Amino acid sequence: MDIIWLIISFTILGFSAIIHECAHGWVAYKLGDNTAYYQGRITLNPLKHIDPFMTIILPLVLFFTSGFVFGGAKPVPINPYNFRDSEKGMMLSSLAGPFSNLLLAITGFCFFLLFAFLANKTTFNPRLLEFNITLFYLFIYINVLLALFNIIPVPPLDGSRILRYFLPWDMKESLDRIEPFGFIIIMALVMTGGFSFLNLLMSKLNYFLISLMR
């Protein structure tokens, strides 16, 4: 990946992560929690969402060690006590993030199909068509990866808060006790290949998208 595509990948990742966090805050706001709104976090201004580790350090480390770009934005603050139903409110606001990435991926897929169709049926500026196909391929790939990663039920990822809503009370407490160590668990899983199933899923996506260009 050359420097241009590295910059484009970072831009897509940053935009997608910001939409992800804004979705959390917007749904929380609609359900009665104004915390993110009053802190100015429901905004596309990237300066409000930059996290030194997740937004800068982690993507760079992953790129130079594995060749792909992945990371996230600073989590939006949510106060579950402001919801009429705190359990349901946390579940829905947590679900909003991965769902927003899924919607972005679907949007990108529509454009990907359009440019793949044009590339097979016309001779219009093949370099421009190739650029747009690659652009939307990355857009789909990054957003699907963000959605899949965040629904993994390990605290503090969104999946743990979605799962928590459906668990009996004693299991909720067990999940809560794990949360202070969640970041350590996630990093350990990353370093030991615990998320290798994501590679399998993403390779299936890669094969599917490439097959559409034939």
Instruction: Return the active site residues.
Output: 21
Is 56 buried (19+), middle (13-18) or exposed (0-12) by CB count in 10 A?
middle
Which residues are within 8 A (CB) of 84 and not within 5 positions of it... i.e. 6 or more apart? 31, 32
* DSSP code, position 186: H
Q: Around 98, how many Cα atoms within 13 Å sit in the side-chain half-sphere?
A: 19
**DSSP track, 72-111:** --PPPP--GGGSSSHHHHHHHHHHHHHHHHHHHHHHHHHH
In the structure encoding, which two tokens stand for residue 180, read together? 């202070």
Q: Look at residues 148, 145, 147, 150 and name the one whose alpha carbon lies nearest to residue 160.
A: 150
- Cα within 13 Å of Cα(81), Cβ side: 0
What three-state secondary structure class fits 32? Answer: coil
Q: The tokens of 91 are what? A: 């579940």
